[in-house]
Amino acid sequence: MATLEKRVQVLFSAAQYAALEVEARSQELSVGAFIREAVAERLDRQAASGNAEVWTRIFARADALPPGGPIDWDEEKAAFDQDILREVQIPIRRAS
């Protein structure tokens, strides 16, 4: 297990904490370990979801290409990167 270095304080209602204790005990974990596992699972799901979105977009681009010769993957990657950059582009205000 990795060395734990950061402390977080989270407040729960009495009912929520009681439910956490029951669930943690049923899995033979401390409440802290139970919460760490829940956070890890949530982060893993989000990462997997992001990967699925990327693959969906790649396949959609491939489906949109005209049939023919081999795909120039360097060109496709550059176009894909440009699409992503356009989506996340944030306007920058310059000081006057």
Maximum mean pLDDT: which of 32-41, 53-62, 65-74, 81-90: 32-41
pLDDT at 54 over 60: yes
How much is the pTM? 0.52
Structure tokens of 54?
A: 């990327």
Look at residue 63 in the predicted model and tell me its pLDDT: 76
Q: What type of residue sits at position 8?
A: V
Average pLDDT, the chain: 81
Q: Which CA distances in Å does 43 have to 22, 47, 51?
A: 23, 6, 12
